[in-house]
Amino acid sequence: MTFVIGEACIDVLDKSCMDVCPVDCIYTGLRKNYINPAECINCSACTDVCPVDAIYVDTTVGDDEGKAAYIGDSRQFFEGILDGMTGPVGNPGGAGLRGDIGADTALVTAHPPRN
């Protein structure tokens, strides 16, 4: 089980989830936040403070293909090579150690901007 940040976070970037995360496992891209599944301790503190209900447990998506897409998207953010980067984000041990990533996955980049 791990937590995932879905489509509702795109272009919101409230970051209140980051303020309550005890292990600093929520990273910031350009348009969306991402939870590192290898660093998350499944405490659920982030779910209670998200103003757009974008955070959910990966095992609760069922047949919701929209939510399921963001499970793979989250892994891609940490394991793949994002535009403008030479290597994967990986598991640096906390977002504060890495800082804002400055890039998003292809799924998020392709999403129409919210106004």
Residue 41 has φ and ψ, to the nearest 5°, of -105, 10
Cβ(49)–Cβ(19) under 8 Å? yes
Pairing label, strands 55-57, 33-35: unpaired
Indicate the pTM of the whole model: 0.94
- Nearest alpha-carbon partner for 90 in 39, 33, 20, 29: 39
Q: Which residues pair with 5 in a beta bridge?
A: 55
pLDDT in tens, 51-103: 999 999 988 888 888 888 999 999 999 999 999 999 999 999 999 998 999 99
Q: DSSP character for 4?
A: E
pLDDT in tens, 5-48: 999 999 998 899 999 999 999 999 999 999 999 999 999 999 99
Instruction: Please give the pLDDT value at position 58.
Output: 87
Residue with token string 């901007």 = 113
Instruction: Please give the pLDDT value at position 60.
Output: 85
Domains of the chain: 3-109 (3.30.70.20)
